[in-house]
Amino acid sequence: MIGIRPACLWLAFAMVISSTAFGASTAFGASPTREELQEYRLPAPPPRAEEAKIELGRMLYFDRRLSGDGTMNCATCHLPGEDGFADGREVSAAYPTNAHFRNTPTTVNAAMRTFLTWDGRAASTTEQALGPIGSPFEMNILLDLLVEKLRSVPIYSKAFSKAFDSDVTKEGIAQALSAFEGLLISGPSPFDLYLDGDDNAMSESALKGLELFFGKGSCVACHDGPQLGGDRFESLGMELNPKLVEYPRRAVSLRYYAKKMGYPLELGREDDHGRYFVTGLEEDKGKFLVPTLRQLERTFPYGHDGRFFTLLEIVDYIAEGGGKAVHRSEELNPLGLTSEEKTHLVDFLLSLTGPDPLVKPPSSLY
Ligand code: HEC
Ligand code: HEC
């Protein structure tokens, strides 16, 4: 269950307007104070949608009717429990006989993010919701067919009528899923509790990691704001993942996706170009959304293609200055961190995980 939140504090945090930008050049000094860090507190959850929409969204999230062959629901890849609303896989599960080419992000806190998906092609959970349903390598059902399918199920006709005063529509499906996702907000992490004044919430090592994160490590140059990421696109200089070549089905999905976005790729030759697929700007090749660093304890593996199996692995990679691909950000340089310092950073990252929301699947979908 979500922890108890003092309402006045939440409101106060929600109203704090960021007045300071902590770029690499303006990294904190020795040790940022709690007051300076208040803007990193997880803000108040979004306003709760109407109950009828939430309940309909809950039904849809867990209903396998939303996939072409009736085997997948949203929870197939965004699974409550130990996978933290992700799926613990390197790259996501996919529609049978297809393969995905990207790692599944958690749906926890997605309702509060500025950009969604690794290339930021959606700006809200409503905008995003129909994407996986129609995607041939995700749930793979024609949306018009799904609408007719749900219209034939009396419980859905009733639920849509209650929530939207209408029959089943695509827009209603998206809005209801989004209303349900509005509940998927984490409780305060040890870092949030520390910001609220609890001196014992974080370990000594995590506190040293905090200093490195905002200081010598310059992580905050990219991972900024209350979600420690999620609002800009950068490249770690990651080279072509050999698994794209080894598993041709991944390459097929990638090429299909590129084509759909308007960029046909040569057979088997090209990499996941991330943000470039959305903007078409050469300078965006190889850039991905700087991901949130919240809830990482349960959302391994890491990176857009899950190539890092542990936090230490990716911290190591970044601390060495990233990879060699052409578009690597200029913010990245070898940091000269000791192995102890890397452990402190990992402990800080772990302190950004709060309890996941408790959600109940609907009792019946018939
Ligand atoms: C087959 C696995 C799969 C299924 C099923 C699936 N997703 Fe996803 N989801 C993914 C992957 C992979 C991504 C990242 C895609 C990308 O970056 O291009 C993603 C991204 C998202 C995001 C963006 C999160 C973020 O922070 O960027 C949301 C929200 C989301 N999915 C919600 C849903 C909902 C709602 C459903 C059911 C209608 C659903 N997903 C079904 C695999 C899946
Ligand atoms: C130049 C901007 C930049 C800087 C500086 C930076 N990161 Fe990142 N970080 C990224 C990007 C972009 C990704 C996504 C990489 C990808 O998969 O393409 C990422 C991914 C991560 C991830 C994986 C999260 C996930 O869900 O997969 C972790 C953990 C992380 N960074 C921690 C750090 C730490 C710790 C530091 C400081 C030592 C740091 N980052 C500095 C841009 C940056």
Residue nearest to atom 43 of ligand 2 (CA): 222
pLDDT at 3 over 60: no
C-beta of 67 in contact with ligand 1 (< 6 A): no
Bigger pLDDT: 21 or 152? 152
Q: Which atom of ligand 1 is nearest to the CA of 292?
A: 26
Q: Calculate ∠ Cα 349-351-354, nearest 5°.
A: 115
Cβ-proximal residues to 253 (8 Å cutoff; 6+ apart), any chain: 94, 98, 99, 100, 101, 136, 137
Closest ligand relative to 86 C-alpha: 1
Residue 364: pLDDT band (50, 70, 90) is: confident
Domain that holds residue 254: 242-284
Q: Which atom of ligand 1 is nearest to the CA of 73?
A: 5
Q: Which of 53, 58, 59, 104 is the best mutation target for the ligand 1 pocket, counting ligand atoms within 8 Å of the beta carbon and taking the most?
A: 104
Total number of domains constituting the chain: 3
Q: Is 208 found in the same domain as 340?
A: yes
Q: Which of 56, 92, 276, 277 is the best mutation target for the ligand 1 pocket, counting ligand atoms within 8 Å of the beta carbon and taking the most?
A: 92
C-beta of 332 in contact with ligand 2 (< 6 A): yes
Q: Is 341 found in the same domain as 226?
A: yes
pLDDT at 210 over 90: yes
Residue 360: pLDDT band (50, 70, 90) is: confident
Q: Is 154 found in the same domain as 39?
A: no
Q: Is 262 found in the same domain as 229?
A: no
Query: Does the active-site annotation cover 138?
Result: yes
- We report the CATH number of the domain holding residue 118 as 1.10.760.10
For the stretch 294-324, pLDDT in tens is: 999 999 999 999 999 999 999 999 999 999 9
Q: Is 63 found in the same domain as 163?
A: yes
Q: Is 64 found in the same domain as 38?
A: no
pLDDT at 20 over 50: no
Ligand 1 center to 5 CA (angstroms): 28
Q: Is 344 found in the same domain as 211?
A: yes
Q: Is 115 found in the same domain as 260?
A: no
Q: Is 291 found in the same domain as 223?
A: yes
Residue nearest to atom 3 of ligand 1 (CA): 77
Of the three residues 181, 208, 230, the one that is the final residue of a domain is 181
Does some domain include residue 146?
yes
The alpha carbon of residue 229 and the mean position of all alpha carbons in its chain are separated, in whole angstroms, by 10
Mean pLDDT of 153-173: 97
Residue 363: pLDDT band (50, 70, 90) is: confident
Does some domain include residue 125?
yes
Q: What pLDDT does residue 29 have? A: 57
Does some domain include residue 366?
no
Does some domain include residue 365?
no
Structure token pair of residue 103: 């790692």
C-beta of 138 in contact with ligand 1 (< 6 A): yes
The residue type of 290 is V
Please state whether the peptide bond connecting residue 301 to the residue before it is cis, i.e. omega within 30 degrees of 0.
yes
Q: Is 231 found in the same domain as 86?
A: no
pLDDT at 23 over 90: no
Ligand 1 center to 310 CA (angstroms): 22
Mean pLDDT of 42-70: 96
The residue type of 13 is F
Nearest to 68 by CA among 107, 98, 90, 91: 98
Does some domain include residue 28?
no
Q: Backbone dihedral region of 201: left (phi > 0), alpha (psi from -120 to 50 degrees) or beta?
A: alpha
294 to each of 22, 162, 168, 245, how far by Cα in Å?
19, 35, 35, 31
Does some domain include residue 21?
no
55 to each of 107, 203, 311, 357, 361, how far by Cα in Å?
17, 39, 36, 16, 10
Does some domain include residue 292?
yes
Mean pLDDT of the chain: 91
In the block, residue with structure tokens 């990252």? 349
Centre a 10 Å sphere on the Cβ of residue 122 and count the other Cβ atoms it contains: 18
Q: Is 256 found in the same domain as 198?
A: no
Cβ-proximal residues to 365 (8 Å cutoff; 6+ apart), any chain: 59, 62, 63, 65, 155
Q: What pLDDT does residue 269 have? A: 72
Q: Which residue in the list 50, 82, 138, 283 is annotated as catalytic?
A: 138
